[in-house]
Amino acid sequence: MGYNGVELKDSISVGRIYSIHYFEYMSDFSFEGEFHDFWEFICVDKGEVGVTGGSSFTVLKKGDVAFHQPNEFHNVKATGDSAPNLVVVSFQCRSEAMRFFKKRILKIDETERNLLASIIIEARRCFDCRLDDPYLQNMPQKESDMFGSEQLIRLFLEQFLIHIIRRYSNPIIFDKKLPKAATQKTTKNRSDNEIFNRVVDYLESNISSHVTIEQICRDNLIGRSQLQKIFKEMSSLGIIEYFSQMKIDAAKEMIRTNRMNFTQVSEHLGYTSIHYFSRQFKKVTGMTPSEYASSIKAMAEGSF
């Protein structure tokens, strides 16, 4: 008796990618708007923005995602209260299931957030362009340093869309916990996640301070080696390196908000001098604070 192969059906099939962006906007940024014959969604990673889709206007906050169907006019502008970070992806998908996303504004969960992060990571590997230029209309491909990057973008995007449809269509079934005993490894992973999130919250609340590893360990009742191990596993960074990255991310947002000069930003974040702050900023971003401010301003004005 011979084997009969099964042809797997595609519920969502992405054909082309038109743009993948991660934007860090000034607090007064405004994009006049456009329409095109393919899908687009905008997801807020930090801050808030005002979004127009067709004739409706909505303010999106962190974790909100708005979908624009083909040929729907849409624009985006910062509200002035914060310097927002956004993920924007546009793509071709003619699957019938995409009707679910027409004129929808939804909230993403942690799984979907991680899928978006994976899309951004793979896009940086296989496209030869900056992902933070709002006026970019073509994404030239390059030889990726990792096998399968372009295919993974499609797979991650399809999984992102399918996951949202499942979660919103069957919330009770989707969230139901199966009655099974947690394994030792599962319990450990959950504990490590809780510790990581707790320490990150602690670091955020001390973003304006200079804290040492000893102080972090003492205030969070955790050993130094365990703390370092968890952060290496969860972020690929040491705890102090992670905290430095958080400070620079906060500095970038303050610079884009344009309410403090560089010295004030440096002092607000607990740096001992403007010179040390500038060195750390360039180490993390590859630019000095003034170069970063100029590049963001140039992109906002469309002259980059």
The residue to which tokens 């809780």 are assigned: 194
- Cα dihedral 287, 63, 233, 228 sign: positive
Nearest to 296 by CA among 13, 48, 81, 27: 27
> Top-level CATH class of 184-300?
mainly alpha
Give the C-alpha distances (Å, rounded to integers) separating 209 from 212, 250, 270: 10, 13, 5
User: What residue ranges of the chain are covered by domains with CATH 1.10.10.60?
Assistant: 184-300
pLDDT at 199: 94
Class of domain 17-174: mainly beta
Look at strands 39-46 and 48-53 and give their pairing.
unpaired
pLDDT of residue 293: 87
The b-or-e profile of 286-295 (16+ CB within 10 A means b, else e) is eeebeebbeb
The string of DSSP codes covering 197-244 is HHHHHHHHHTTTS---HHHHHHHHT--HHHHHHHHHHHHSS-HHHHHH
- Give the pLDDT score at 50: 94
d(CA 19, CA 300): 18
Residues 72-97: pLDDT tens digits?
999 999 988 888 999 999 999 999 99
Residues of the chain with CATH 2.60.120.280: 17-174
Specify the pLDDT at position 221.
Answer: 87
22-40: pLDDT as tens digits: 988 888 888 888 999 999 9
Q: Give the Cβ contact number of residue 17 at 10 Å.
A: 19
Residues of the chain with pLDDT under 50: 177-182, 303-304
- What is the pTM assigned to this prediction? 0.73
CA distance 21 to 85: 10
